[in-house]
A and B are shown apart, each in its own frame.
Chain A
Amino acid sequence: KAGVTQTPRYLIKTRGQQVTLSCSPISGHRSVSWYQQTPGQGLQFLFEYFSETQRNKGNFPGRFSGRQFSNSRSEMNVSTLELGDSALYLCASSLGGGGSRIEQYFGPGTRLTVT
């Protein structure tokens, strides 16, 4: 079974631009979560999508948005990029049921550098 894929793997953008990152979950997984990882803040939850609906949202400004398509693929968008948005963006997929045992499988990440 193919794992979680993320594209692109690396991105360099300029302040003020916008960027779209893509994530394809494991086949059969309906939940996709996005995380931002930086040396200073660690791993922070951005949002989770389940069956095309945003189910949870972390504490990030409105410049960060996402969506999920009917095939469970997800995209996240960051508008008006700031230097502090430079980070590794990780996508994780899971089956998506409720409860505490929800194993997430992560993709390789997209490393975004904002100059």
Chain B
Amino acid sequence: AQKITQTQPGMFVQEKEAVTLDCTYDTSDPSYGLFWYKQPSSGEMIFLIYQGSYDQQNATEGRYSLNFQKARKSANLVISASQLGDSAMYFCAMREGSRVGGSYIPTFGRGTSLIVHP
């Protein structure tokens, strides 16, 4: 079963507008982390933002914020004031981590392609 679901294969947004990229996840582990990465056409995955399952507040990093709704198992990425350079693939990922000292394999969604129009 899919652990990370990104239902939007492609999204379009006008420059300077906000956009929300959807991500839902599935886990029974009470301790987990959620990540968003950006992958421009160059191929390199760029870490954007992290949200821990026990974090009380939604994570924010500059123009990026994560709308974390734990009961709905949703971790949407919000990009405010879109820029042309935001055009890229965006991946949501989850890492379960209740085993102390252990290491769990992170699971990635299939990605959402964001195109920012001038």
Contacts and interface: CB of A to CB of B under 8 A. Distances in A.
Interface stretch (A15-23, A60-68, A70-78, A94-102): A94-102
By size class, the interface of chain A is 20 to 34
Interface of B: 31-33, 35, 37, 42-47, 50, 52-53, 91, 95-106, 108-111
- The DSSP consensus for interface residues of chain B is loop
Contacts, number: 73
B33 to A, nearest CB: 4
Contact of A111 (B43, B45, B95): B43
Contacts of B108: 42-43
Given A56-B104, A98-B97, 7 more contacts: A45-B105, A45-B106, A99-B31, A100-B95, A101-B50, A102-B103, A103-B47
Given A42-B110, A56-B105, A58-B105, A100 B44 contact: no
